[in-house]
Each structure stands twice: as C-alpha cells, then as structure tokens.
Structure 1
Amino acid sequence: MAAQAPGTDPASVPGASGARQFWRRLRAQRAALVAAVVVALLVLVALAAPLLTAIEGQDPTSYHPSLIDSARGGVPVGQLGGIGGDHWLGVEPQTGRDLFARLVHGARVSLGVALAATVIQVAIGVTLGIAAALGNRWVDQLLSRITDIFVALPLMIMSLALLAIVPASFPRPILVTLVIGLLSWGNVAKVVRAQTLTLKGLDYVSAARLSGWGTWRIARRELLPGLAAPVITYAALLVPQNISVEAALSFLGVGVKPPTPSWGQMLTAADVWYQAAPQYLLLPAGALFVTVLALTVLGDGVRTALDPRAASRLRVGTGRRREHRADTAVEKETSS
C-alpha cells in the first residue's frame, strides 16, 4: 500500500523511484541548486571553523590592544579595519578580536541553534498533530486548543521574558534553542493534523484498519510516509526563520552572550561603528542575509520538487520550459 497524500506527486512518496524523481526536479531549478551549494559551503565553514581559524593563527576570543588606535576611540589600526595576512577580515573596534574567527565561529552558533530548534519543532509538531488527528473528539479538541494557544503566543515577547529570568550560568546557545523550539511548534502541528485528517480517509488506510492494525502502527507505516513531503517542506522554511529569530534575540541582548560569537550579537556591538568601521557591521549582516536567502530559496525549491504542480514563489533561474522538460523525463522514466 503506497502512502500518497492528495495533491502531492509520486515524487513525495519515499522509495527509490520517488527519490530519483525528486532529485531530477530539484536539479531542474538552477536557483535551488545554487542555494544548495551556498548552504553546503556555509555548513562546511561552520563545521571547519576551528581548523580555519587555526590556519589563520587566530581565535575568536583573544584581544589585540596593539591593533586598536585608542586615540581615535578604538578604531582598528591600518586600512580596511586592519585587514592583513594575520587578520584576514580585520579586527573588531575597541577589542581587536579577529573578525574572521568570530564570523566563522558565529556561523556555528547561528546555524546550530536554527537546525536544533527546527528538529525540536518538527518532533513536537508531528507527534501532537498526529495524536490530535487520530485521537477521539475530546483529545482532538484538547490538543487543538493547546496548539492554538502556542500559535497565538508572541514568540519574541515570550522569548525575551524567559531568556531574561534564566540564570546566566545556563549555556545560552542551548537555552535559545530550547526557547525557540518549545514555543514555536504550533504551525507544524496544524499542518500535520490537517494532512493526517486527509490521509486517514483514504482507501489504503481504511484497508490497514480493517486488517487489524493498531492506530500507531497505521501512523508509523501508512501515515508518516505521506506526511514526509509537507513536513520536509515546512522544516526547510523554518530554518531561515529560526536563524532570524536567534539573530534578533542576540541583537536585543538576551540571546548568546559574549565572548561566544554570534552574528546577531556582532550586529549589536557594531551598531555604533558603522561609520568608523563599516566592515564590522557589513560582514555579519551580509553573512546573515546570504544564509537566510539561500535557505529560503532552497526551501522553495524543495517544496516545488516535492509538489511540481505547485507554482514556485521564486521564479529566479527556474523557467517553466526547463521544469516541463524535467517532468517529461520523470514520466518517461516512470513508464519505462
């Protein structure tokens, strides 16, 4: 029995042929491929941050007061913020800490927090969404009302309140991850519940129920494969959103604390230096912009590849004719 949600393409169903169809459609979108390469490079840089800073010979926390012109208020000595062989992107104003080291180590924090928070959101949302759809009327009503409460919660205000009262000794990256993940799973649960209600009325699910399968076996064997496409799509779009939330919390001073580097925290410290040392502001802002843009374009590409009949929101480099050729190739391969 093949688990396939209405309105989804066979490419969304797990399996060798479905995976081939998915990759064919994804490769047909040049913008998504470029975004995937950018995301892969960012992840590689984040993972290799200790190695890259070791090659440079710097670390993200060491101060270099000799590289700061105290007579000018702490502006880096030299051209372009002190860029040179020892400091590839220059140094921070006032502290003299290496900007390249802080930027790549900040990628570890920003990407790590966003990915871990997304995993928490998806785990809670999928569990409660399936439980609400498969439970009786009272269970569905209770879980749906709880979900509505979490959807209505103002995430930033609640995060500010929780992060402000937790002791400073608690590791901030872990705390930010937990706050984002535990407060913003509501929309995932709503999507999963709606899709599960649609799937549970299909013939193959009814056949599994008549054969004597239990509720959770049906969920595991029949419903979860059909939920893969919408869940993967939504998760891909949650990652850039979570990066922005982490950056905003750090910018407001309640997220990651110094000396641990974070792009949002770097922006907080750079807001008074945009004229004297513009690279201090432009580098983390540019990294944040490129990361969010690449993840958003990649998420849109994944959504379109899983459901090729849905028109892409971002038409950059995709082209209807190229998508038609990819779909034709998939249909020929399937028929053969």
Structure 2
Amino acid sequence: MQLPENVVSQLIPEGLPDGDLYPPEKFDNFPGEYPDEEIPSARQPSDNYRSYRWAQAILKEVLSQRESISGSHLGWSDVSAGFIYEGSSDYPSRYKIQDGWTFGACILIKDHVIGDWLTINHINVSGKTFPVIFKFGQISLHSIPPNPGSGSSACWVKNASPHTNKKWGYGILTCRHVVNGIQLAQVVTLTPSKVYARPQSGTLADQDPLCIDAAIIEFPKNDWPAGLVQMNIPNPAGRHPIAPGMPISCYFKNGTSNGSILRIFQNQPYFGNLIANRVIIDVYGAPGDSGSLVSHNKHNKVDGVGVYMGKIPDGRGGWEGICQDMWQVMKYFDISFHI
C-alpha cells in the first residue's frame, strides 16, 4: 500500500517532542551537511523535520518500555516508527487516523500466531498518544546467494578511512547477504549493468559480520569510471534528515520504482554494528534486487537513503520494502558514495 501524499501532512504531529534529539555534546560528532548547515529551528520546523523528530521520540519511548509493551511477544526482528497502514474503520479514537493510515510504532515479530496484525498497548510521548502495532512474519531477502550476479549494486564507493588496516581503495556497494558464502579476498564475478560493462569481477574487501547488511567489492583503480559525482548522505543531526513521508526512488534491475519512506529505525547517536538501522518503504522489488540504491531526489540533488534488502509483511496481506540505512553504512565503513 503506497502512502498517499495528502496523508503525510495530516498525520505528522504538530510541534516538536520535548527534549533534544541528542545530548548537546553529541552535536560535535555530526557536522552539518553543508558549510552553512545549522540545527533546525524549533520555531519553524519543516514537515520532514517534525516527522523525523516524532519518529525518533516514539522509538526512544518504545525501546524504554520494551517488556511492558510487548508482553509475551519478545522475538522482535524489526522495529520502526512513522506511517502505518491499519485500514479498518474501528480504529481506537484516541489515535489519529487518515484514510486508513496512522502515525506510531510498528514491530515485526517472528512468532507464529493466528492472524498477522495486532494493536497492543499504546505509548504517550510529550502529551500525545500513539499506537504500537505488531505484525507477524519474516524478512524476505531479495537475492539468491552466494552468486552476487543474482543481486544488485547500489553505487560506487571510495575508501575514506585514514587507517592503514583498510587497504582497499575503490569498490562497489551491495548487501552482505548478496555475497553470503564468499570469504574476504575471494573473487566475486560481476554482471555488467545497462550503463557500465566494467569491472567484470572484483574481490570481497569488507563486510560487517553482525547487523549491517552491506558489503564492499573491490576492483582495480583503472576500472573506476570517469565523471562520477559524490552522493550526499543526509545528516541525522542536520536540517534534512531521512524521515517518514519523504519521497524515494528505488533503482531495481528492471526499472525505477517511486514511493515514500514509511518508517525509520535509527538508534541515535550510535551507528556501530550491534544494532541494525533500517528504513521501511512503501515499494518493494523482486529476487535479485537486493543491493539496489534507494535515494531521495530533489532539485537535481541525489541523497542516499538506503540499500534495498527485501520485503516484510505489511500485516494486511501485502508487503513493504526494507532497506539498510545508508548513514550507518557510511559511518561504519568510513566510505564515500559516488554515482
């Protein structure tokens, strides 16, 4: 179910939640996206910024009340906050609903139960009440490992790390599960794209063994294409963070699909590999699309949003897309992105 444009402005809560997004000392770790970047003003917050702030406040409250909220359903495989399609007309009146959509927290549970949708409990954040909705099912990853030719690549990357232990220089970004079964330094065969015939192979240079679904395939410098431009990755502490309701484009193997961000999970300000940061979108691809770029395009500028992973059940018999958050990839691997 795709998110209607008119729903976004109707459901984003007014104002901003209480408290700071980060403790003040954390801002030094997140410089602005541009030289004139400033922390958004609380007096005139944009829809995008309000959506992000409320989603983060809801996530913080849900995580702090995990045991009381979930009861016996403790097998969380994904949690996110933002827009949720509920669809029924008997939705509790204390939650705001518009055309079947609401704004709150959504949790994916691995448990097998009768039915695939359950609203359980609610949370109060800064004087407002939000639903906590549980869905049941598994993440369906869209690759056919271990052959990376059955997956996709998101973009070109350069090693930006000053540490000498990272010896690779130029590479391609994909999902870790696309190269599942391939060891570091092993050769990876690459399928030519519609634009680039080279490189035709590379070696697996880096991947996260824990929660970040991303991997780097290295190739020789002379295969780096001319004319690439560096892609911006929106700063979570900047003026234009990745937020529920933001339009996105997914560059799948068989064409581009346009949609919107439904929900986010960014465990600010920690971007290490012990907690997976994810972006949930209202479009999804097919097997072989894992590793595709998901971006926000506006005013001739491309912002990297995530790396497409696969799909999750939407709780109403359909599906939603799930992505690896791009900012976490950038911070963990210390790389720059190019298109």
Short-chain TM bin: under 0.3
Q: Which has the higher helix share?
A: 1
Which gives a bigger RCO, structure 1 or 2 (Cα 8 Å, sep 6+)? 1
Q: What TM-score does the superposition give when structure 2 sets the normalisation length?
A: 0.27
Q: Which has the higher strand share?
A: 2
